[in-house]
Structure 1
């Protein structure tokens, strides 16, 4: 059995910012590609390593290879020129492998420099046992399937979901055959080889991945990887934001509050569904991010938000936190009105808000108060909510 590691390093890494392609960027004194190659070259179960590169990066590749220890560098074959897409690059690499008598091939992204020996062991074992296998880690966030208008159409059970990584492991001949069939049929572009093998009709199994086997995509990923390699803990800054929303009552037989449809003698006048609790929470998170308000990101002048479900606004604000490597710690909202009463619906609202934000229900607080018959809420003319959000942001990304 001859095991070949095929390292895909032809991409440009534009999401990581300007400068060198990310696989050639320094990471704690060594390039990302050098770290990735060393992991596979040093593994006793790997017979040869082939790297797919952009011809424009040949000098950068040669400089990287010179840094690899001599005792393992002998496993490194000549590089292969990549294509315009990842799929084309992998196929180019596979076409170069018959001369190496490949039996099993592990396809790995160059931008994952933390693949350890145990993960590589599992990949080789899975390929030998199943023929096609991919590493996966359990999903901790709630996942939503959305439609053409960004509306939620399904919420899959996350217990059955896995986030797929590399190295993906295959018997060589079937993988090459699948890539050739995809080329002949002008099939859709696949983002990973497991998906291509599924399309070709091969059963693909999932083996245990590694949560530390992260792919370096953004500048925040590089900063966190530097800290990890230097043994430095992540430093967070706590940010607090507040939000407020109000809507006048109008015709209708219900109001939306905290993502729940609540029966009421009147509705609200609003461009969207008028959920004052979710609107206030959205503004609170955006305030903690110093990223404008709900009207900036979802302007009422835009017809696409007419009647929109407000869970989309809150989910978007939470996504903005996570894109910056942040954490939503706590959400707190207070409803101000004479009616309807919050109490009968409080727990359902808390559960719904927790689901939308992808946090625990113990991190969601809801309260209600009247204004003792004072003001527009006291006179029953409208409904209001105020909110606070506590988040943590990595120090480097905090404004």
Structure 2
């Protein structure tokens, strides 16, 4: 089977969008557009690796967007998309794949079938791109009296919209891009055509839209969530007793206290409860099944690893975490002063927008083991959306 690398072009600034940050870093159903795009290729069994080309000025945004994903360091882009693609191809030249799929970061709705179709076409062609035939009647416009009038109908027969991914045999596209440097061509298929390479059109899902403006983003979110109609809810509960120490870990935040929590890992009772809630939502057992407390490798472990593992299991099923809610039950320490940091840390671990993370605290009015300050309990709920095709 040929090796295949996906090259995600994410170096643009998206000036037409009018946002404060490049559009590829804006949230789509709670996670950055770029992450949605990258995950689509990471999940595909015929894609061996994913490389991302970025503007280094936004490296912090990139790192947050792809946190926890198995990716090599990003590649520095150039002043134009064509320059950025060439930089990406040159970065792979030392250990080239057989095939490369070049894809716009702002097309997060690319389907498994579209990726498979382009790869399949490369078995017999040096270049193949996802495309859709034009369905609307086309008019040629002309200035007239301060407005624009129709100056005739354009025959749409044999006209197609070029989408991405655009796939190529690596040995052909790299020299084509080198020869085409400076020509200011609009897509990689044009680069291939300029080099004399035949390009196969692969019928694609018309919902494989490019997010160019805010209306596109709203439509993309609607389409994305419509495909995730299997809505699940899971709950989790955990308890840890106090022991000697000077701090506790809660929601991934180190909180000073006159005691520590006793546990095999870092004893973060809140993250343990949330991990169980997410695992419960996808019917994947509990935290102890995935990270046995008797296993010495988890002694003192950061509980963020457990939570991230649960999130990765959701992503592997093509799902998303829509919302999480944590309630910490204790008399001391006070959670309020640390709540904002806790929300931010959970959101970071799960790659969620903070608006999708809730952290609350309550006491038991002096009743029970928490009221006697013998330990801390936590309960959590998680809402997960999975594709309807999942059981």
Correspondence 1:17 to 2:18: yes
Q: Residues 9, 202 of structure 1: CA spacing in aligned structure 2 closer, same or farther, 3 A cutoff?
A: same
Asked whether the 8 Å contact 2:109–2:224 carries over to 1, the reply is no
d(CA) in 1 for partners of 2:19, 2:30: 19
1:160/1:30 Cα in 2 relative to 1: closer, same or farther (>3 Å)? same
Normalised TM-score (structure 1): 0.53
Offset at residue 3 of structure 1 (A)? 0.5
User: 1:219 aligned to 2:214?
Assistant: yes
Inter-partner Cα distance in structure 1 for 2:5 and 2:150: 42
Deviation string for 1:198-241 (max 9, x for gaps)? 11211111111111111001011111222233339xxxxxxxxx
Query: Is 1:132 aligned to residue 127 of structure 2?
Result: yes
- What is residue 97 of structure 1 aligned with on the other side? 92
User: In 2, are the aligned partners of 1:52 and 1:82 still within 8 Å (CA)?
Assistant: yes
2:90 and 2:60 map into 1 onto residues whose CA distance is: 23
Contact 2:118 2:167 in 1 (8 A): yes
Q: What is residue 223 of structure 2 aligned with on the other side?
A: 228
CA distance in 1, matches of 2:5, 2:87: 14
What are structure 2's unaligned runs of at least 5 residues?
Answer: 228-391
1:199 maps to 2:194: yes
Structure with larger Rg:
1
Q: Residue deviations 1:69-116, cap 9 Å, x none?
A: xxxx2xx22210000100000000000112333111100000000111
CA distance in 1, matches of 2:115, 2:224: 20
Find the counterpart in structure 2 of residue 313 from structure 1.
none
Distance 1:81 1:224, change over 3 A: same
**Change over 3 Å in CA distance of 1:152–1:200 after alignment to 2:** farther
Q: Give me the whole-angstrom Cα distance separating, in 2, the residues matched to 1:229 and 1:106.
A: 22
Q: Per the alignment, in what secondary structure is the counterpart of residue 144 of structure 1?
A: strand
Kindly indicate whether the alpha-carbon contact (under 8 Å) linking 1:34 and 1:67 is maintained by their aligned counterparts in 2: no
Which residue number corresponds to residue 159 of structure 1? Answer: 157
Give distance in 1, aligned partners of 2:130 and 2:7. Answer: 16
Q: Distance in 2 between matches of 1:94 and 1:153?
A: 42
Pairing 1:1-399 to 2, within 5 Å after superposition = 1-68=2-69, 73=70, 76-145=71-140, 155-183=153-181, 186-187=182-183, 189-231=184-226
Contact 2:109 2:220 in 1 (8 A): no
TM-score (structure 2 length as normaliser)? 0.54
Measure the CA separation in 1 of the matches of 2:199 and 2:95: 25
Q: Distance in 2 between matches of 1:147 and 1:46?
A: 46
Write the distance in 2 (CA, Å) between the matches of 1:228 and 1:67: 25
SS at match of 2:122: helix
Q: Deviations over 1:119-177 (max 9, x none)?
A: 11001111222111111112111223567998867644323111110000111111111
- 1:230 to 1:132, Cα distance in 2 relative to 1, 3 A: closer
Give the Cα–Cα distance (whole angstroms) in 2 for the partners of residues 14 and 24 of structure 1.
13
Structure 1 runs not aligned, ≥5 long: 233-399
Shift in Å at residue 197 of structure 1?
A: 1.1
Equivalent-residue separation in structure 1 for 2:122 and 2:143 (angstroms) = 37
**Per the alignment, in what secondary structure is the counterpart of residue 158 of structure 1?**
coil
| Count of residue pairs brought into register by the alignment | 223
